[in-house]
Amino acid sequence: MKYILWFLGFLALLFCVVYAVLFTNSGNNFLKPYIQKEIQKYVQNRVVVESFTLKTNFIDMEILLDEKSRVILNGDFSIFDMKFDINYILALKDIKTQQLNIDGIVALKGKAIGHKNAFKIDAQGEIFNAKTLLDVDVVQNSIQSINIDTKGLHVEKVLALLNQPIYSKGFIDINANLAPTPQMKLKGDGKINISFGQLNQKEISKSFGINLPPNFTYRGDIDFVVDKDQVQAKSTLISNLFKLDAENVIYEIPTKKFYTDYTLSIPSLGALEELLGVSLYGNLSVVGDVILDKDLKINAYSKTLGGEVKASMHNQTASLHVKDIYVSELLKMLKQERYSNGVLNSNVEVSNIKNLDFQSLTNIKEANIDGDVLGKLLEKNSVANIPYTLELRANGRNKMVQISSVFDSSVALLKVLETNYDMDKNHLYGKYDLHIESLEKLEFIIGQKLYAKLDTAGEFQVKDKKLQLQGESDFLDAKTNYKLDDGLFELQSNELLVQNISKMLRYPDVFESYSSLNGAYDMNKKEGNFSLETVNGKLTNNQLTNLVSALTQFDMSQEVYKTGVLKGLLQEKKLDYSLGLEGLNSYMKIENGQVDLAKESIYGKFEVKIKNKDLNGEIKGSLAKPKVSINSSEYIKHKIDKAIDKNVPQEWREPAKELLKLLG
């Protein structure tokens, strides 16, 4: 009996000690440092337990964090059967834990009611200025359900919470009903609504180098279902630039595998000018999918421009396949005149996106350059359509592109060979080969029919937006060199037969000689000059030589003209020229001649000197068949005077000479 009393006495003493430690003011004060120390393990803020009262059926506690945040617990709490009905208030600001940084204000109040094996927690208040309702059911230390309803959550505060730049502003509403499974997974559904979204143009440009249009706004809805290890969703995002729909979004939580289909609708491509850097016309619809499973895969398909476009990307590789799109529709999209029709096909394979390593083949078939549009551009009338085909091959590596192409048309065959493009320097350079069977077909460009063929080859470059080229040719069976530099075309031709020029122009063959030609033409000013020098040339029989022979008994067609110079100044369709021929016994010159290329007419006053004989006259009329006339000649006048003195009676001599003067 004595031992029983001792044991009961010990229990009573132990109870008194426990009671004194736990449920008295001194005991509560004794426990405060331990509670404070335990809380401090989980937060990086300074923790102070300002008040703590624990009774057998009641608890009251107030905790201060960094003098900015406060947690208050107050209510019934049975220490013996672990039942409780506790009210709480959370007023948190800028809380830092090992897992999460809360930069902002969380203000919630609510109640926790039940017992340790089954209880409910409800909350209402604001999280980041968003009105929030929260209900949590817990059974056997396991959450049975979580219901959350948040309205007006600031997008920028969520980004800050995730330590991300403020890419956007806007508001998010979240409504979710979730429940854990026995395997500690989640199951449930919910809805997310985004409203009044506006992207931060400067921040996105700084982080990603993307130039967005100003005032890029958006809104969207996401419906999702969580089933253990998988999240399924569908979403709609509507902006002032496009609409993006996803009907089947799947995310595997353990493997982080992600899949989504998408439909992208752009009602006006013109609104994307700042983003794309080019002004476009029309609309566009694209469907495809995105797969992220260690590797990233993106597929896209669009039925557009009369054909179809397929594109795909896999990590650092990509491909593009363009099938049967209309060139005319492509030009329309690019806001260009419809210079051409035709069907375009292209295949591009990119082996390294970062280095821009790729191979491509592009061709245009069944095509015509539109004569009406080309004529309007060149300010010409009645330009015929030009059928053509084009094949373009390109290979890129480390931002250097090798290009070759063949343009085969009814007017010319142009091959661009061994061409390189430096992307960093924006420098294009290479070689070319040009064959024109008949220059007659280029009358709409040259402004005159030329009856000759042209074969030429050379090198070219485009640098600082300026075209430079040089080449050589056996044009008209003469050694010809030329160059073009920023719109100035210069030409030099040696051993050029003058009669070949006449044949090319279909003009009368009036002179035979080898010559050298130097010319320059400014395409910007539409003016130029030339100089044609001849050696040991001969005039052919023509109206001029026949007339001179009849008047002077000198056959100019038998004269050898050691030197000759024809110079001209061309402005638009007007040509001012001068001519000088120096022979052994004669010379001929025209100082101020004019040719109207539009009217194909010629005019010039000439002077012919044959030893002591002179003739002055003019050439005028059509270039194909000009008329030659003699206006004056001291030689003929002297000859007539002698004839009058010899054959006319004395009394009629002076009147006859006066009459001769009147006749010129």
pLDDT at 211: 80
Q: How many CA atoms lie within 13 A of 608 on its CB side?
A: 28
Which two structure tokens, joined as six digits, stand for 81?
């059967």
The overall average pLDDT reported for the chain is 85
User: Average pLDDT in the 140-147 region?
Assistant: 82
**Hey, what long-range contacts does 267-270 have (CB within 8 A, 24 or more apart)?**
267/242, 267/243, 269/333
pLDDT of residue 284: 93
Hey, which residues does 352 pair with through a beta bridge? 357
Query: Is the predicted pLDDT of residue 6 greater than 50, yes or no?
Result: no
Does this model's pTM top 0.85? My answer is no
pLDDT of 598-642, one tens digit each?
A: 888 999 999 989 888 888 889 999 887 889 888 876 666 666 555
Q: How confident is the model at residue 99 (pLDDT cuts 50, 70, 90)?
A: low
At residue 260, does pLDDT exceed 90? yes
Give pLDDT, residue 105: 80
**Type of residue found at 541:** N
Look at 371 and 445; give whichever has higher pLDDT. 371
The answer to whether residue 12 scores a pLDDT higher than 50 is no
- For 412-421, what is the mean pLDDT? 93
Q: Is the pLDDT of residue 311 over 90?
A: yes
Distances (CA, A) of 493 to 55, 446, 501, 503, 518: 115, 19, 12, 17, 7
HEC per residue, 208-233: HCCCCCCCCEEEEEEEEEEEECEEEE
Of the candidate ranges 117-121, 184-188, 404-408, the one whose mean pLDDT is the lowest: 184-188
Closest CA to 498 of 423, 440, 579, 418: 579
Which residues share a beta bridge with 285? 265
Which positions ≥6 away from 231 have C-beta within 8 Å? Answer: 224, 225, 249, 250, 251, 253
Cβ-contact 238, 220 below 8 angstroms: yes
Tell me the helices (H) and strands (E) count for the chain, helix number first. Answer: 12, 36
Quick one: tokens of 137?
A: 């059911």
- Strand, coil or helix: 254: coil
The mean pLDDT of 415-424, rounded to a whole number, is 91
pLDDT tens, 470-489? 999 999 999 999 999 988 99
- Report the pLDDT value the prediction gives residue 633, as an integer from 0 to 100: 64
pLDDT at 335: 92
- The residues that bridge with 497 in the sheet, in sequence order, are 514
- 355 — pLDDT class (breaks 50, 70, 90): confident
Region 420-435: mean pLDDT is 93
Please report which helix (H) or strand (E) contains residue 339, including its range: none
Instruction: Say which residue, 138 or 580, is predicted with more confidence.
Output: 580
Residues contacting 63, CB < 8 A, separation 6+: 39, 47, 48, 49, 50, 70, 71, 72
Where does the pLDDT of residue 4 fall: very low under 50, low under 70, confident under 90, or very high at 90 and above? very low
Q: Which two tokens stand for residue 259?
A: 């899949």
Angle between helices 2-23 and 25-40 (to 10 degrees): 60
End-to-end, the C-alpha distance of the chain in Å comes to 174
Q: Between these two residues, 59 and 413, which has the higher pLDDT value?
A: 413
- Residue 3: predicted pLDDT: 39
Higher model confidence: residue 142 or residue 385?
A: 385
- Would you tell me how many other CB atoms lie within 10 Å of the CB of residue 423? 12
Widest pairwise Cα distance in the chain:
196
Using CA atoms, how far residue 458 sits from 405, 453, 479, in Å, is 15, 17, 14
In this predicted structure, the answer to whether residue 340 has a pLDDT above a threshold of 50 is yes
How much of the chain, in percent, has pLDDT values that exceed 90?
Answer: 45
**What was the pLDDT predicted at 2?**
39
State both tokens at 525. 């000013």
User: Which segments of 356-399 are extended strands (E)?
Assistant: 357-369, 386-397
Would you state the structure tokens that stand for residue 261, as one six-digit string?
A: 């289909």
Cα–Cα distance measured from residue 82 to residue 80, given in angstroms and rounded to the nearest whole number = 6
- The pLDDT tens digits of the residues spanning 519-537 come to 999 988 889 999 999 999 9
Q: Residue with structure tokens 């080309």?
A: 374
pLDDT-based confidence at 224, cuts 50/70/90? Answer: very high
**Would you list the DSSP string of 403-458?**
EEEEEEESS-EEEEEEEEEETTTTEEEEEEEEEES-GGGGHHHHSS-----EEEEE
Residue 458 bridge partners (DSSP): 432, 471
Structure token digits, residue 664: 């010129």
Burial environment of residue 233 by CB neighbours within 10 A (0 to 12, 13 to 18, 19 or more): buried
Least trusted range by pLDDT, from 36-45, 490-499, 500-509, 557-566: 36-45
333-345 as b/e, with b when 16 or more CB fall inside 10 Å? beeeeeebbbbbe
Contact assessment for residue 649 and residue 625, using Cβ atoms and an 8 Å cutoff: no
Most confident range, picked from 27-36, 38-47, 451-460: 451-460
Look at the block and give the residue holding tokens 């927690």. Answer: 121
**Residue 98 pLDDT:** 58
The SS3 assignment for 78 reads coil
Alpha-carbon radius of gyration of the chain: 48
Q: Is the pLDDT of residue 7 over 50?
A: no
Residue position matching structure tokens 């090992």: 98
Are residues 417 and 432 in contact, defined by beta-carbon separation less than 8 angstroms? yes
654 pLDDT above the threshold of 80: no
- Tell me which residue has tokens 């359900």: 145
